[in-house]
Amino acid sequence: MAQRYDYVIVGSGINSLCCAALLAKKGHQVCVLERNDYLGGCIVTAEITLPGFKHDVLSGFHPLFVTSPNYAELADDLARHGLEYLNSNKPTASVTSSQQACVLTTCRETNVRAFNLLASGDGDRYAKTMREMEGDAEFTFGVLGGELMRVNMLWLLIKQFRQRKLTGIIDFLGDAMLSSRDWLSQRFHSPAIQALLAPWILHTGLGPEANFSGAMNRLIAFSLESAGMPIVKGGSDKLVQAFVGLIEECGGVLTTEAHVSQILVESGVATGVVVAGQESIYATRAVICNVTPNQLYDSLLDRQWVPDNILQQAAGYRYGRAGMQIHLALKGRPEWLEKSLNDVAMVHISDGIDSVSKAVNQAERGLLPEQATIVVAQPTVIDPSRAPQGHSILWIQLQELPSVILGDAAGTIQIPDGGVWNHQVREAYADRIIDRIGEYIPGLKSAILHQEVLSPADLQAMNINLVGGDPYSGHCGMQQFFFWRPLKSLSNHTTTVEKLYHIGASSHPGPGLGGGSGYMVAKHLMGSA
């Protein structure tokens, strides 16, 4: 007998899990299909270096999730299934090549005092920024957290128009369009504060020259001060396990090694999916796909259901810079030259706006950056259980790399024919990064028990949505964001087929471990069911 469910969800990333949990809690029969041999998408915890060292292989920190409507609605259920968050009051910091550190805490008064010491008035300007964010929160989070072409969004805009008037709306949008460079340069006089905030724009898939990157800088600073840097006790896979427990408790089914090869469509309506090597699985209410637009319109849908303009737009969907992950198992705990960094959750090694801009520019021209912006996260500062007693791990991320290498800006790494990320290039570039971190943590190299490096090619091999090693499943510039993500001719999370929905990082509101698109689609479906 054919398998039938109310909803079939393709892919098991955070958006899929949120969507499935919300629908299952409402009594709907849900089936989640994952092509890999594990659930969770980019949420993976594994002992990839040595036994006892638990590394979050891809994503690792969850400030977006714990502040999301998903978590507000599901927190008690997830806790009942074993989810526990740990946090830090020192979520982030930066350190420059001159060893000048700047720390952001979860206490506004502390931040204001520290920033005023760095440059007269900078702390006061920071406080003003945070107050502005509080005043704009309804509008900002409403736009980022809601489907853009729904009646609710229209009412939000009408309310904002009444409050702000036309000139206020124009002023708000004008400020939002500022680049990170413009906003940081205008707002803060201290290079240390600029260096603290500038690298965070990379975590949105943007660069410091991009339109709207200044608004994202403000949003991130506000979120970090408000939410800190929460991680899951014991590893992020515990979040996945909690979701699985909740979904199965509500009668849902989750299956791994289920490669969906086709979406079944009858008379323009999605009716189910074909799973390679298995019987078809049918959906009576909807099929929901957590994929890239290329997968959806080039592969999963038969050509007859994809108009020419959509096919062309999908072919033109642009992917962003590539990423790299380096995981270190360490003997003992890292000791930074700048002691204030020893208990910070995530440190950026960067000389500020110009440094980030240069590395981004080199990567976008196909070069290995000479001096990358380095993300050094210290999970064992928050959760000592991630490593054997007395030892630690480091989670290192690079976000300014080319998918295809045309050269090395430093001129020391030989690039293979075709610009591929082979073993030699991967390890040579990782060595460059480790050597540089060693300038800030002098005993680092001698403390390394084992290291594991994931190049852009490795990231794509792990997760089909990370095309070219792009950790954000698509370029996040304005031309491919908001109304235009994923494609300009589609609205909300609908597709060219009725009862087929598109979620995930390639859809609005874009990447980030918040589960936003899964939440929006679940709420829409529950409202229309």
- The residues, ordered by sequence, that sit 6+ positions from 49 with a Cβ below 8 Å of its Cβ are 55, 327, 328, 329, 393, 449, 450, 451, 452
Extract the tokens encoding 363.
């990567």
* Sequence letter at residue 475: H
pLDDT given for residue 167 in this prediction:
87
Cβ atoms of residues 44 and 56 within 8 Å: yes
Average pLDDT over residues 304-324: 96
Closest CA to 275 of 6, 9, 1, 70: 9
- The residues, ordered by sequence, that sit 6+ positions from 347 with a Cβ below 8 Å of its Cβ are 92, 93, 94, 95, 336, 341, 375, 376, 377, 378
Angle at CA 368, nearest 5°, toward 436 and 202? 75
**pTM for the whole structure:** 0.94
d(CA 216, CA 201): 7
Cβ atoms of residues 514 and 13 within 8 Å: no
Between these two residues, 512 and 273, which has the higher pLDDT value?
Answer: 273
Place of tokens 């008379």: 267
Chain mean pLDDT for the chain: 95
pLDDT given for residue 1 in this prediction:
67
Average pLDDT over residues 122-151: 87
Expressed in angstroms, the distance from the first to the final Cα of the chain is 26
For residue 486, cis peptide bond before it (omega within 30 degrees of 0):
yes
DSSP bridge partners of 274:
262
To the nearest whole percent, how much of the chain has pLDDT over 90? 88
Using DSSP, state whether 380 is helix, strand or coil: helix
| Of the listed ranges 1-5, 109-113, 403-407, 422-426, the one predicted with least confidence | 1-5
Cβ atoms of residues 330 and 449 within 8 Å: yes
**Alpha helices for 31-86 (secondary structure H):** 63-66, 69-80
Average pLDDT over residues 307-319: 96
d(CA 202, CA 200): 5
d(CA 205, CA 128): 26
pLDDT given for residue 529 in this prediction:
44
CA distances from 324 to 92, 358, 470 (A): 20, 18, 9
Average pLDDT over residues 219-227: 94
Cα dihedral 462→369→344→191 (10° resolution): -150
Average pLDDT over residues 141-151: 80
| Of the listed ranges 10-19, 126-135, 365-374, 497-506, the one predicted with least confidence | 126-135
pLDDT given for residue 420 in this prediction:
97
**Alpha helices for 188-291 (secondary structure H):** 191-197, 213-227, 237-249
Q: Is the pLDDT at 528 greater than 70, yes or no?
A: no
Domain boundaries, the chain: 3-43+62-86+234-317+475-528, 104-227, 319-462
Closest CA to 290 of 507, 26, 30: 507
Angle at CA 490, nearest 5°, toward 275 and 280? 15
Q: Kindly report the CATH number that applies to the domain delimited by 3-43+62-86+234-317+475-528.
A: 3.50.50.60
pLDDT in tens, 463-510: 999 999 999 999 999 889 888 899 999 989 999 999 999 999 999 999
Average pLDDT over residues 381-405: 98
Cβ atoms of residues 255 and 34 within 8 Å: yes
Cβ atoms of residues 230 and 66 within 8 Å: yes
pLDDT given for residue 145 in this prediction:
80
pLDDT given for residue 236 in this prediction:
97
pLDDT category, 438, cuts 50, 70, 90?
A: very high
